[in-house]
Amino acid sequence: MAVDDLQKYFIPMGIGHVSILKLVEELFDYRLVESYDPSSARIDEEQRVKISTSGRTHMELSLHNPIYMSSMAGATGVRQAEVAKEIGEWLNVRPMPNWPLLINAFVNYCLREDECFVEVPPSEDYGGQRLLRADLKSRWLVHRASAK
């Protein structure tokens, strides 16, 4: 898919034109997407890109692997001090933190941030976005009483 097509998809979600290009460049730099042209060292709007094997693996891990998700909770920058403190507290519990609550705090934060900055249009074209949010919620969000 061309980067220009990605922009056409994400702009109705409230993500700016320049932001999309920068995000695709960052995904490219981390080898989570790749160009159809293997000689390309940079990404531009006409460039065709696809999700890489590594990108698919990261997606799969984020939906199914608690060790990966708990690692992401510890490695991802969090903008809200109270959430960062909560995640830090779960990470510092010894001998082993309550992983479901750690992951719950992290995924809940990510979903709230996503809902704050991204609006998914009601069109069926965006059903995959709604499904991804629903999958993350159903897989990782727990009721505190059942996680203790």
The number of residues making up the chain comes to 148
Domain encompassing residue 41: 1-55
> Which of residues 32, 55, 78 is at a domain's end?
55
pLDDT value for 93: 81
Q: How far is CA 29 from CA 32, 54, 135, in A?
A: 8, 12, 27
Please indicate, yes or no, whether residues 101 and 82 belong to a single structural domain of this protein.
Answer: yes
User: What is the tally of structural domains in the chain?
Assistant: 2
Let me know if residue 60 belongs to a domain: no
Let me know if residue 91 belongs to a domain: yes
> Which of residues 55, 73, 98 is at a domain's end?
55
pLDDT greater than 50 at residue 45: yes
Please indicate, yes or no, whether residues 30 and 4 belong to a single structural domain of this protein.
Answer: yes
pLDDT value for 91: 87
CA distance 117 to 13: 9
pLDDT 10s digits, 3-25:
999 999 999 999 999 999 999 99
Please indicate, yes or no, whether residues 122 and 81 belong to a single structural domain of this protein.
Answer: yes
pLDDT 10s digits, 63-111:
999 999 999 999 999 999 999 999 998 888 876 668 888 999 999 999 9
Q: What is the pTM of this model?
A: 0.85
